[in-house]
Amino acid sequence: MNPLTQVDIRRAFGDGIGGAHFGDDSTEYLFSRIKRLRRAFQQAHPNFKVLDFGIGEPYEGPSQLTRQAVMAATNQPEFDGYPDLGLERLRQVVAVHFGEQFGVNVDPSTQVQDCWGIKPALDALVKVFCAPGNKSSLTSRIQVAVTVPGYPVFGTQASKLGAEVIQMPVTREHSYLFDYRVLEQCQNLHAIYVISPHNPTGRAYDQVPGFWETLVEWCRQRQVALVVDEAYCHLRWVDEDRPFTALSVPGFTDVGVVLHSVSKTLNWTGGRVGWVVGNPTIIAAYRKEYEDSSSGQTLANQHGAAESLTHFNGIIGLIRKSYIERLGRLVDVLRKHGFPVQMPDGGFFVFSPAPTEGGGQAFTDAEAFMRYLLNEQGVVSVPFGSNIRFSCTIKVGGQGQPESFDQAIEALDQRLPQDLKFAL
Ligand SMILES: Cc1ncc(COP(=O)(O)O)c(C=O)c1O
C-alpha cells in the first residue's frame, strides 16, 4: 500500500447520497447543528443550567408494565428466533386497539404490519412508491408530495431514489393547512405524505370540516397513495382529547395507510416498534419490502408493545396529563412575552412566528433568534424558516438540568427578553 496515495472512496458512493460530493455540503442537518451549538455553549458555561426546549424527545421512558413485559419475554426461548413478519398477537391487539380507540374495523391479517418505528417504515414505503426500476427516465420521474416544514424522512429518502419531491408549504396565513390542489399539474404523482397532527405546527386537519374527505376523494380519483404519519395521534388537545385517525375517513382504505409507533404513544422511543395499518394492497407491498430488507422487529419488544396496548388507557392517560399541563404552562409564558401562540391541536410542541427584535438585537430570521437564545440565554429552541418551535419535553431533575418543569418555566420567563417584537 502506498501511504502517499490519497484515496477518496466517495467515488464509490451513489449519486442519491451525494456521490463524490458526499460530506462537502456545509449545510449541516438542523438537529445536528442545534446539538453542536448546545454542546459548545455547555462547554463554555459548565455551571449554567441550559433550558432545552429544543429537539423534543419523551424522556420519562415506558411504563413499568411495558418494561416487565419485555423482560419476561426476553427470558422466554420462544422469543429468541427470527421475528420474520412479526408476532401475530401484536397484529391482533393492534386491530382491537383501532376498534377501541378510533371505532374502525381492521383485518389483522391483511391490514396490519409491524415496523421498527415510523422512520424505517417511511423508508420502506418510499421504496414501495418510488423505486425507479429500469423504466425510469428524466421525463417520467416519480413525484411525491410533502408538507414543508415537516418531518423530513419521506422527502429525503424519496429524492435519494431520484423522485421529484413537491413541497406543499404550511404557513400561519393559511392556518397551517396545506394546499394539495397545487399538485394538479403533476404528471406522475405517486404518493402524498401527511403528518397528523402535524409536526412542527401541531395542526389537526380534521378541525377543518371536510378537509380529509376532500383529500381522500382527490387521491381516489387520481389513484395517488396517502401515507399518513400519526406519530402524535394520541397526544391531542381538541375534541375533548379524543384521538383521531385518517383511517376513519370514508374511502381512506382505498388509497392509504397510517403509521403509528410506541415512541410517543408509550413514551418508548428506544422500543422501536410500530405498525402500518390500512389498504391491504399497500400493506402487502410494504410487507414485501420489509421482508426483503429486514428480518423483522425484536419479538420481545413486540410482545411488550402488545401487552401495553391491552392496558392502553391507563398508560396514555398519565402521559397526556403530564403533557397537557406542561403545554399549558409553556403557552402561557410564551404569550406573556408576546409570542402569538395558543394551545396546539396536538403533539408536544408550541410553534410560533419568531420575533424580529428584542434584547437590543434585531433577528433577520428564526435561526438568528435561536442562536441569540442559546448563546446569550442558554435556551434551546428549533428554527424553521421564520418560525420557532419549543418542545415541552424538556428534561428536568438531572445534573445540569432545571429541578422541575415549574423551575424551567420560571427560568424561561426570566431569560426571554421583555421587549420582543413580532412582524405580524
Ligand atoms: C412526525 C414524526 N414522525 C415520526 C417520527 C419518528 O417516529 P419513530 O420513533 O416511530 O421512528 C417522529 C419523531 O420525532 C416525528 O416527529
Q: Is 119 in the pocket of ligand 1 (CB under 6 A)?
A: yes
- Work out the average pLDDT over 74-82: 95
CATH number of the CATH domain containing 84: 3.40.640.10
pLDDT digits (tens, 9 = 90+) for 322-336: 999 999 999 999 999
The domain tally of the chain equals 2
Same domain, 337 and 399: yes
For residue 421, the one-letter residue type is K
In this predicted structure, what is the pLDDT of residue 32?
Answer: 87
Give the confidence band of 260 by pLDDT, cuts at 50, 70, 90.
Answer: very high
Is position 293 within any domain?
yes
User: Domain end: 255, 280, 310, which one?
Assistant: 310
CA of 198 to the centre of ligand 1 (A): 11
Nearest to 96 by CA among 408, 404, 313: 313
Residue 239: half-sphere exposure toward Cβ, Cα within 13 Å: 17
Is 112's pLDDT higher than 90?
A: yes
Q: Identify the pLDDT of residue 20.
A: 86
What per-residue confidence (pLDDT) applies to 340?
97
14 assigned to some structural domain: no
> Ligand 1 center to residue 117 CA distance, Å?
8
What does the pLDDT look like over 122-156, one tens digit per residue? Answer: 999 999 999 988 765 556 899 999 999 999 999 99
Question: From the CB of 195, is ligand 1 less than 6 Å away?
Answer: yes
> Do 292 and 333 sit in the same domain of this protein?
no
Q: Is residue 69 part of a domain?
A: yes
Residue 68's pLDDT band (cuts 50, 70, 90): very high
| Closest atom of ligand 1 to CA, residue 262 | 10
- In this structure, which residue's CA is closest to atom 3 in ligand 1? 231
Q: 7-65, pLDDT tens digit by residue? A: 888 889 998 888 888 877 656 788 888 999 999 999 999 988 999 999 888 888 999 99
State the average pLDDT over residues 99-113.
Answer: 98
252 and 378 housed in the same domain? no
Residues 237 and 348 in one domain: no
Indicate if ligand 1 lies below 6 Å from the C-beta of 263.
yes
- Does 2 map to a domain? no
Same domain, 46 and 121: no
Q: Which of 264, 295, 310 is the last residue of a domain?
A: 310
Lowest mean pLDDT among 136-145, 195-204, 248-257, 304-313: 136-145
C-alpha 229 to ligand 1 mean position (Å):
8
Q: Does residue 123 have its Cβ closer than 6 Å to ligand 1? A: no
Instruction: Tell me which residue has its CA closest to atom 7 in ligand 1.
Output: 118
Q: In terms of domains, do 330 and 409 share one?
A: yes
Same domain for 90 and 210, yes or no, is yes
Ligand 1 contact via 260 beta carbon (within 6 Å): no
Ligand 1 binding pocket includes 258 (Cβ within 6 Å): no
Q: What is the pLDDT of residue 3?
A: 66
Q: How many CB atoms lie within 10 A of CB 178?
A: 25
Would you say residue 110 lies in a domain?
yes
pLDDT the model gives residue 136: 57
Does the C-beta of 393 come closer than 6 Å to ligand 1? no
Please check whether residue 18 lies inside any domain of the structure. no
* Range(s) of the domain holding residue 407: 29-56+315-415
If asked whether residues 184 and 288 sit together in one domain, one would say yes
Domain membership of residue 22 (yes or no) is no
Last residue of a domain, one of 275, 310, 345: 310
- Are 281 and 385 in the same domain? no
The total number of residues shown for the chain amounts to 424
User: Is residue 391 within 6 Å of ligand 1 at its C-beta?
Assistant: no
Q: pLDDT, tens digit, for every residue of 379-388?
A: 999 999 999 9
What average pLDDT does range 347-355 have in this prediction? 97
Exposed/middle/buried for residue 277 (C-beta within 10 Å: 0-12, 13-18, 19+): buried
Q: Return the best residue to mutate from 261, 275, 393 for the ligand 1 pocket (most ligand atoms within 8 A of CB).
A: 261
Residue range 71-78: average pLDDT?
96
What type of residue is 268?
W
- Going by pLDDT thresholds of 50, 70 and 90, the confidence category of residue 84 is confident
Distance between CA atoms of residues 307 and 319, nearest Å: 17
Same domain, 272 and 368: no
Query: Does residue 76 sit within a domain?
Result: yes
290, 85 Cβ separation under 8 angstroms: yes
Residues 174-206: tens digit of each pLDDT: 999 999 989 999 999 999 999 999 999 999 999
Q: Are residues 397 and 410 in the same domain?
A: yes
**Would you state the pLDDT for residue 399?**
81
Residues 321 and 303 in one domain: no
